[in-house]
Every structure is written in structure tokens, then in C-alpha cells.
Amino acid sequence: MSSRDTIFKAIRQGLGRGPLDDAARAKLDARIAEPPQHIRATVDDADLVARFAQRFESRSGTTERIASLADVPAAVAALAESYAIAPSAVVGTALGELAWPEGWQIDHGAATIDVMLGVSLAWRGIAETGSILMLSGPERPITHNFVPETHVVVLPVEHLVRHYEDCWVALREAGQGAPRAMNFISGPSRTGDVEQTIELGAHGPRRMHVLILG
Amino acid sequence: MEFRSPEFKTRAVHALHDANLQKALSNTKAGFVVKRAQAAAEMPEFEALRDTAAEIKNHVLANLDHYLEKYEAAVTAAGGHVHYATDAEDARRIILGICKKANAKRITKGKSMVSEEMSLNEALIGEGYEVVETDLGEYIIQLADEPPSHIIAPAIHKTKDQVADLFAAAHNKPRKTDRAALVAEAREVLREKYFTAEVGITGGNFLVAETGSSVIVTNEGNGDLTQTLAKVHIVTSGIERVIPTLDDLSVFLRILARSATGQETESYTTFSTGPRRPGDIDGPEEYHVVLLDNGRSKMLGSRFQDMLRCIRCGACMNHCPVYGSIGGHAYGWVYPGPMGSVLTPLIKGMDGTYDLPNACTLNGRCQSVCPVRIPLPDLLREIRHQQFRKDMTPKRQKQALKLWRYVAERPKLYHFAERIGVRILASMANGKGKLRSLPFDPGWTGARDLPAPTGRTFLELWQAKRGDK
Amino acid sequence: MSDTPTKPRPRVGLFATCVMNAFRPSIGFASAKLLEDAGCHVSVPAAQTCCGQPGLNSGDEDSALALAKQVIEAFEEFDYVVGPSGSCMATIRHDYPNLFADMADWRKRAEALAAKSYELLSFLTDVMGVTEVDAEYHGTITYHDSCSGLRSMGVKGQPRQLLGTVKGLTIKEMEDTDVCCGFGGTFCVKYPEISEKMADDKLANAAATGADTLLGGDLGCLLHLAGRLRRKGSPVKVYHTAEVLAGLADGPSLGEAPKEA
């Protein structure tokens, strides 16, 4: 008997039954097709942007409001200058064609070990926890989120939602199933592994800056 | 991982005298206990979420076969592979096979207690692979050649100075004692490993049947780099970790971080669904999930089924005063503290694990913080019952229980015996109000005096005064 | 509310825990006084011995079952069963019904008894509506929350509320007052070193308050803590909360030598 069969047999033996009948299976499948909605954290803030920013900043992230996508390069350049980061970045093509200042080197490929700055487009922002949701795809390389020391994320306000669950609704509406990778990111990388004292930049980005667009 | 639970007593006493360990453990309270209490207090829905989480887990366990099938089908549809392993050996065989096929030399690993259960590192290293733990805590204890002492903070027993010594020895760099500098040094060293590993192994906090996604929750981002940069990503998880939908998952995301570290959320919650897709320019080329049974299916339908709700947050050990006194190593296997004292006898067997469920005062603090409301004290007591039935309870204790029962079932004899007993003890105290030693002492007077009885029992005084029946 | 003359006084069976019966009769008298002051009729059945917890916690379910039957028989005639111990009373309240899971008749009787079983102080406040006591104690106390009382019987505010009405008494809360003291029944003799460490952590927290008296609601914990204090030569006094509330804390504290006559 394969390990799979052994385990399924043991599970059913433990539960004191054979395989579920069709009716029971249909009921469970229906639970997946129309997931029950559970209790959530109350998010009654009138100003979701303020809540998002407050929560994100509580975990050492930083935010900035910009008016249009065209403002992204200048905001990134200013940030790079303030931290003395060289004018070079990996940028997902999901952000479209941006007019970068002269002297900037922009790469759309996967992040390599020496990349110091990444600029990405968030798929959603979640006001409840002040988190962003990144999806993987050819236009949104996942390495951009984790390899660079500084990560700048553009979050269009129309994509700021209240709860995690709002993301699932949007994801199901998009009808593509789950992408290969999805990341809720809620601030810079951190560790408490040395004497339970928080240090930033354990492995992922040391700095995270969200440009709230709109 | 080496199994040293039989040495619990000696290792516990050793731990009590380890000054570095005691210093490190004293950090736990401010680090975890206080923060969890704040996080719970700040969220009015927290208690209701715990109830919901327990209900979802109960629903899954009652239908585990179905949800595993759904999950497996979704992973397969996304181009991934699901492997089932009945025990640790089975799991090692599967993973060694994947690594061999991948022509791997270097393997990076995110924190995974299931892989500790499999003794995976020993097996991989034995086959000549270079294995690099990338979670900072795991990396520290790998350098120290020690097992984890906590399931979410594996190096909680190490002080900064000890870490400094380990890094100086391993990295060939000047010794640093600044925390930030230590973290930066590990970052630099491990970065190169991520980019050159052929296989990346992570755990899986949750498996979502709806989408076929494995989910890890981390603060460091090491798991993400591990699984994104290697050619082959292997997820190790227990068969009980599947949940139906993303909406169910949301409930757990709200309680896991709060229970574990007192955070509203960890920095990263990462979903992986299969290997890289057409057009993707990064991500692993192969995606495998190894689902470990290792005694879990046997808990289904037993008095220990509730234990399968566990989400490995560590809150029970953070709040356990015994764990807080002796740390995790004394427990002698992967899972320490209250949850470990239930799981270890169930997974490794009753032999050699006698002390684990007994070294507990049944104070119930673990249960009061468990996010999925596992009745840990009841389960620990149930293991004691099984030990008793298997005749594992020490003879002396069994005889004492037998005598106690014989006397206690005979009220007249019982009260007569108590009257004699209190007179003897009172006269031994000789007006001092306390006894410094006892004949046939079962272990009381090593560290404490025995406050002496006054010489008469309550019942005899009451009856003399009140003549009550 | 109703002081109609027809309403009989509740008949309370006092559960005299085995440790109390042997080591500290004054807790029994203090309990009886507090109950009678609250308007109860108190009886102490002679047929009682032990609640069965030693067997229950050491794996000997049969012994626990036999003793549970005995307790049920001795106490089921009363309106309430009340004891000065969160631990024993939690056994009766929570464990008895489960012990008889497969014995319908006994289960019913166990459930009936469980429903009317109370830890002393929570009974006084929550059932009898007592809000103050007439007692004096000159000292600063700190109160240790014994685990079973706290987590299984919901005893937390009640003793503090009543202690607040004792003349001359000041309460100073210690840190980690809800953390186990390391007694744990047989735990304290099976793992004495760990138990000692837990006691010392507890006593360090108590000492940090500057209190001259340590109070608690379970004699097991108190014997353990008083024993450790006496061994270390500490002058801190240890009493059961009921002794202070009943004004019976004028004798030697636990482990203290009686005054010369």
C-alpha cells in the first residue's frame, strides 16, 4: 500500500467511517465554493488611508502621499538620495513606463544579489493591519520584494481595502486562481532572535516605503 | 533530532543552574507574555476569533480526508507535487530523492519544526549535502550544534555574547557584540547561500485546500528568499495543517501573530502555489509538498484529537512557568513545553517520555492562552492515566495511591489515621511550628520546611464544639 | 432581596479538604463563621475524606471515581457544597461529571453536585451577596491567585473585594500574581528543584511589594510557600484568606511557632 493510501486509511479509521458519500462531499465542496464569512477585526475608520499609514508606520515602515504615477520616479530618487543609495533600481513592468531622472539605471528583470533598491506596484493594501498584498507574475517579479535592501511600493488608493477578505473577493473576481506567490507585507524585515530585541533588516528589506497614490 | 526526553530530570536540574539560560529565559516575559496580553486586549474580537478558529479546525479534522484530497488536487493543478509520508523515515527518503534528482549540493532551509521531527538535517548532511538554516535563530543554533529550544524562537536560550562567540568562530571576522552588527553579519553571510542553493526547504503553517497554497508566516523574510531563489522548493508540513478556504485562513492570521509574539501581524505572510508559471522571471522551477503523518492520524478519534488543532504559535510554552524555569532543551525533543509534553509521548511513544506530562502543575495558564483552545492540562492528565494503565507509574507512587485510596474510602479509619498523624507531626515539631525534615520524606523538605499541624484535626475539633454529625 | 420569613437558610455542606483538616483547622472554623455570618446553615459531614484529586492527577482514575462517589453521597443532600479551596472544588465542579461519562445515573448525580459546588469566597460574594466583612488585620498583604481557583472557578476579584473591607489591612499587588507558585500537588515532591525555582520566583515578586503577609485561597500552595519562607528564615506571615476575613488570623501563621503560654 502506498503511504498515501496508508494515511487515508488511518484517517478514516480514526474518524470511524469510510470515505464520505457524494452528498457529504458536495456539501464540503459548497463550503469551499461559497466560503462562510467569519468574524473580522472591526475597521470602522472613515479614513482608511490614515489607518493604513498609522498601522504600517507602527512597524517601522514609512509612507508618503503622491498625486500621480508620474510622481513615482521623483519620490524614489529623493528617497535614494536621503539614504545615499546609488541611482539604480529593479522596477516591475506593472508600473508601466515611468520617466526616470537622468542617470538612473532601471532594470525590469529578477533582482540579483547586488540590487539595493526595488520599486513595485501593490495589488492591494489592507487597512486593518497596514499591510500590502503583492502578487507574483511576469510584471511583478517576486524577488523585487525581498532581495533589495530598500523596497518602495506604490499603492493606488482605489486598491486600499478594509480586510484580508476583501482581497479574496477581488482575487476570485479576477478568476485566475491563486498566482504562484502572494505576499502580505507589513513592514521591513525584522528579527527578535538575538535576546528578543527587535532588529530590522534580518534578510529582507531593511527599509520599506509606501507611496500612496491618489 | 536526537531524542533525549528520558533524561528530563537531570537536564532540568542542569538548566536550573545554567546562568546564561536563566538570563535568557527571563527575557521571555517582557518579550512574549506582556505583548500577547496587550495584543489580545487591544482586539475586542479576539476571544470570538479563538472560538471560530477552534471550530474551523474541528470541522477540518472531522473531514480531513476530503480536504487533503481537495488540497492535493489544487496543488497538482498548479503544477506542484504532493508526497505523503507515514513517518520520519518515509519523509527523509522522499526528500533525499528530490534533492538527488535536483543535483543539489547546497540546501537552504527556513524554520520548520516538522523537518526537525523528520531529523532531516542529519539525513541530508549524512548524504553529503551542505544544509544552511536561514532563520536567524535556527542559524545560531546550527552553528552551536544544538537543537531548537523554542518552536518560534529556537535560540531563545542564547545570550548576545554567546551569539558573538559563535559568529566570530564561524565567520572568520572580528567579534562583534552589537546586536545590529550581528544581524547584519548574518544577513551578509546568508545572502550568498540563498542565491547559490539548488533546493530551498520551508515549513507550512497552513495549507489552503481552496487554492492549493502553502502559507508561511515570518518576520525575517528568510523563508521567502529560501523558496524564491532555489530551483526546487520543498514544503514540509503535517497532514493536519490543511484548512478549507482563504476566508478560514484570515481567522488564523488574526490570532497567530498575536498569540505567538504579540504582534498584530508578522512582517510576511507568504502563499506559494506551485512552481513558476509561464512568463515568470523568478520563482522555483519545481514545487513539492511533503505531508507528514508520524502519529497524527492515530490521534484522530482518540481522546487526543484536540491536539491536532495546534497551530504551533508557542503561546503555551511562553506562559508555562515550568518551561520558564528550565527552558526547552530539558524536554529532550522537537516540541517543548505543554504542547510538546502532549505531542512527544504521542509521537515518540510512552517509553522514555514519562516525565513530560508529569512535570506540570496543571495550573492551566497554557490553556488560557491557547488560540485554538486546546485543553492541554486535560490532555496531559489523560497521558498520566495511560501511563498508569500501562503500569509506568513508579511503584512507590502507585503504592502510596493505593494506600491513600484504601484509607480514604473508609472515613472512620481515615479520620482516626489523620488524628494519629497530626499528633505525631505536632509532637515532632516540638513547639517550633515547623519541621525541617521528615522520616520517609517523599521530597518535601529538600528545599522547604513543613509547617506543622497544630495537633488536632478540624473534624475532631468541630465535632467536639458543635456535635455535628 | 427577599427576607420573607418562609425562605429557609441555605443548607451548606462544608467540604473540609484533607490538607486543611490535618494542618489548619482554623481555616475550617473561619469558613464556617463566614458562611454563618452570610446566613447559611453549615454542616460538616463526617463521612467525607478526600475529593479524589491525588488519584485523578496521578493517573489512577479508578481511585478518583471511588472517592468521587463517596463525596457525592456525603454532600448531595445539601443546597450547596462549599470548600475553602479552589483546587478541590474545581475537581468536584469540573472533573466529576467527566469521570462518570459512561455511567448515566452517576453522571446525573455528579452534574447535580457540580452545579451547586463552590469555592468559599466566590460563593460568599457571588451567591450570598456578601460585600463586606467585620474583621481587623493590621498589616500589608499581597494575594497569590491559586491556579485552580483563578482559572477553573473564576476567583479573582472576590477575595480582593472582601479583603478591601478589613480594617487596618492594606493590599499590595505583586507582579505575576496569576502565575503558578510551583506547588502542583505531587509535582512539588516529584520535581522539587523546579518547584523550588517557581516558589522563589513567586516569593521574590511577593517580597518586592514589601508586604508583611502573604495570603491565598488554597492551603496546598500556602504550605509550600510558607515552608519555603520558613526555610529561608523570612519573617513574612502566611495565612489563608478566610482566616483574615473571619478575624481568625490572630494565632501563629503557617509554620510559625505558637507563642509561649
* Cα–Cα distance, C52 to C98 (Å, whole number): 13
Point out the residue among A39, A181, A196 whose CB comes nearest to the CB of B49.
A39
Vertex B257: Cα angle to B253 and B262 (nearest 5): 145
Q: What secondary structure does DSSP assign to A117-159, as a single string?
A: EEEEE-SEEETTTTEEEEE-BTTB-THHHHSSSEEEEEEEGGG
Element (H, E) at B271: strand B268-272
Q: What is the pLDDT of residues B141-154, one digit of tens each?
A: 999 999 999 998 89
Cα(A127)–Cα(C155) distance, integer angstroms: 39
What's the grid cell of residue B80?
506542484
To the nearest whole angstrom, how far is the Cα of B442 from the nearest Cα of chain C?
Answer: 6
- Beta carbons of C43 and B468 less than 8 Å apart: yes
In a domain, B317, yes or no: no
**CATH class (in words) of the domain with range A48-213:** alpha beta
Q: List all residues 6 or more positions away from B311 whose beta carbon is below 8 Å from its beta carbon.
A: B53, B205, B206, B252, B255, B256, B371, B372
Would you state the pLDDT for residue C165? 98
pLDDT at C1 (0 to 100)? 47
- State the smallest CA–CA distance between residue A187 and chain B in angstroms: 5
Write down which residue in B298, B332, B360 finishes a domain.
B298
**Residue A160: strand pairing partners:** A125
3-state helix, strand, coil in chain C (%, to 5): 50, 15, 40
Q: Which cell goes with B63?
A: 473531514
Positive or negative, the CA dihedral C21, C26, C27, C30 is: positive
Q: Cα angle at C32 between C27 and C38, to 5 degrees?
A: 125
How many angstroms away from the CA of B228 is the closest CA of chain A?
A: 7
Are B184 and B43 contained in the same domain?
Answer: yes
Interface test with B, best of A13, A31, A32, A93 (most B CBs within 10 A): A32
Nearest CA to C129 among C248, C10, C24, C209? C10
Residues B291 and B151 in one domain: yes
**Is pLDDT at B469 greater than 70 in this prediction?**
no
Cβ-proximal residues to A125 (8 Å cutoff; 6+ apart), any chain:
A52, A131, A132, A133, A155, A159, A160, A161, A210, A212
Is position B108 within any domain? yes
Q: Which amino acid is at C244?
A: V
| A66: CB partners within 8 A, 6+ apart | A72, A75, A211, A212, A213
pLDDT (tens digit, 9 = 90+) per residue, B438-458?
988 888 999 999 999 999 999
What burial class does residue B469 get, using C-beta atoms within 10 Å of its C-beta: 0-12 exposed, 13-18 middle, 19+ buried? Answer: exposed
Q: What residues contact B62, with CB distance under 8 A and at least 6 apart?
A: A15
Q: Do A186 and B218 contact (CB within 8 A), yes or no?
A: no
Contact B186 A202 (CB under 8 A): yes
Per-residue confidence (pLDDT) for residue B439, from 0 to 100: 84
Name the band, by pLDDT with cuts 50, 70 and 90, for residue B24: confident
- Any idea how long chain C is? 261
Of B228, B250, B261, the CB nearest to A146: B228
pLDDT above 80: residue B28: no
Contact B269 A196 (CB under 8 A): no
Provide the 10 A C-beta neighbour count for residue C104.
Answer: 9
Q: Does A171 touch chain B (CB under 8 A)?
A: yes
CA angle C68, C69, C72 (to 5 degrees): 85
**From CA B187, how far away is CA B69, in angstroms rounded?**
39
Q: How many CB atoms lie within 10 A of CB B66?
A: 22
Predicted ipTM of the assembly = 0.97
Average pLDDT of chain A is 97
| Cell matching residue C213 | 503577609
Residues in chain A: 214
Contacts of B29 in chain C (CB under 8 A): 176
| Structural domain contains residue B216 | yes
> Among residues B298, B330, B351, which one ends one of the domains?
B298
Given CB atoms, is C75 within the 8 Å cutoff of chain B? no
Per-residue pLDDT of A64-93, as tens digits, reads 999 999 999 999 999 999 999 999 999 999
CB contacts under 8 A, A 88-147 vs B, are 109-113, 129, 131, 136-138, 141-143, 145-147
DSSP H or E segment with residue A211: strand A207-213
Task: Identify the residue among C17, C24, C58 best suited for mutation to test binding to B, counting B beta carbons within 10 A and taking the highest.
Answer: C58
Q: List the single best residue of C91, C187, C191 to mutate versus B (max B Cβ within 10 A).
A: C191
**Structural domains of chain C, ranges and CATH numbers in brackets:** 11-125 (no CATH), 131-245 (3.40.50.11810)
Residue B20 belongs to domain with CATH number? 3.40.50.10420
Residue-level pLDDT at B468: 57
Q: Is B339 inside any structural domain?
A: no
Between CA A9 and CA A3 the distance in angstroms is: 10
A196 vs C174, higher pLDDT: C174
Question: In A, residues 6-65, which contact B (CB 8 Å cutoff)?
Answer: 6-8, 10-16, 19-20, 24-25, 28-29, 31-32, 35-42, 55, 58-59
What residues in A contact B90, CB-CB < 8 Å? 3
Pairwise CB contact (< 8 Å): C67 & B432: no
Query: Backbone phi, then psi, for A106, in 5-degree steps?
Result: -115, 130
| Maximal C-alpha separation, chain A | 71
C30, burial (CB in 10 Å: exposed 0-12, middle 13-18, buried 19+)? buried
Alpha helix (H) residue ranges in C155-218: 157-163, 187-190, 192-208
> Within 13 A of A64's CA, how many CA atoms are on the CB side?
17
Of B387, B418, B469, the CB nearest to C45: B469
Task: Give the number of beta-carbon pairs within 8 Å between B and C.
Answer: 223
Query: Is C181 in contact with C214 (CB distance < 8 Å)?
Result: no
Q: What is the DSSP string of B131-162?
A: EEE-SHHHHHHHHHT---SSSS-TTTT--HHH
Q: What is the pLDDT of residue A196?
A: 87
A197: Cβ contacts below 8 Å, ≥ 6 apart: B179
Asked whether C163 and C245 are in contact (CB, 8 A), the reply is: yes
- Which pairs count as long-range contacts for B417-423, CB under 8 Å and 24+ apart, including other chains? B418/B457, B418/B459, B418/C18, B418/C21, B418/C22, B419/B456, B419/B457, B419/B460, B421/B453, B421/C22, B422/B453, B422/B454, B422/B455, B422/B456, B422/B457, B422/C22, B422/C23, B423/B455
Is C59 part of the contact surface with chain B (CB cutoff 8 Å)? yes
Mean pLDDT of A102-123: 97
Locate A170 and state its grid cell: 477581488
Cα–Cα separations (whole angstroms), residue B58 to A57, A205, B259, B309: 37, 38, 19, 7
Residues B324 and B361 sit within 8 Å (Cβ to Cβ): no
In this complex, does chain C touch chain A, defined as having at least 3 beta-carbon pairs under 8 Å apart?
no
pLDDT at B417: 96
Is residue B237, in this structure, part of any structural domain at all? yes
Provide Rg for chain C, Cα atoms. 18
- Residue B67: list chain A partners with CB under 8 A: 28
Q: Å from C251 to nearest chain B CA? A: 11
For chain C, residues with pLDDT lower than 70 are 1-7, 260-261
How far from the centroid of its chain's Cα atoms is residue B38's Cα?
Answer: 23
Report the neighbours of B using a cutoff of 3 or more CB pairs below 8 angstroms.
A, C
Domain count, chain B: 2
CA distances from C180 to B320, C177, C188, C208 (A): 9, 8, 12, 17
What phi and psi values does residue B113 have, to the nearest 5 degrees? -70, -30
Question: Rounded distance, CA C254 to CA C227, Å?
Answer: 8
Contact C63 B405 (CB under 8 A): yes
Q: Give the integer Cα–Cα distance in Å for B326 and B336.
A: 10
- Kindly list the domain boundaries of chain A, sorted by start residue: 3-33, 48-213
What does the longest C-alpha to C-alpha distance in chain C come to? 57
Q: Please answer yes or no on whether A142 and B159 come within 8 Å at the CB atom.
A: no
Distances (CA, A) of B27 to B47, B325, C109: 26, 12, 48
Residue A124 CB neighbours (<10 A):
21
B280-312 pLDDT, tens digit per residue, is 999 999 999 999 999 999 999 999 999 999 999
| Listed residue (B82, B30, B46, B12) closest to B318, CA to CA | B30
Neighbours of chain A (3+ CB pairs under 8 A): B
Q: Which of A42, A171, A199 sits opposite B45 (nearest CB)?
A: A42
Q: Do B70 and A178 touch (CB under 8 A)?
A: no
Residue-level pLDDT at B124: 98
Burial of C107 (0-12, 13-18, 19+ CB in 10 A): middle
Q: Which domain holds residue B202?
A: 5-298
Round to whole Å and give the CA distance between B468 and B465.
8
CA-wise closest residue to C49 among B459, B423, B461 = B459
Question: What does each C-alpha distance from A14 to A157, B296, C207 come to in angstroms?
Answer: 50, 10, 52
Q: What grid cell was written down for B369? A: 492562552
Choose one of B231, B265, B298: the last residue of a domain: B298
Cross-chain residue pair C27–B404, CB shorter than 8 Å: no
User: How many beta-carbon pairs under 8 angstroms link A with B?
Assistant: 277
Q: Is residue B121 part of a domain?
A: yes
C94 touching B (Cβ < 8 Å): no
User: How is residue B87 annotated by DSSP?
Assistant: S
DSSP A43: -
Residue among B90, B135, B281 whose CB faces A110 most closely: B281
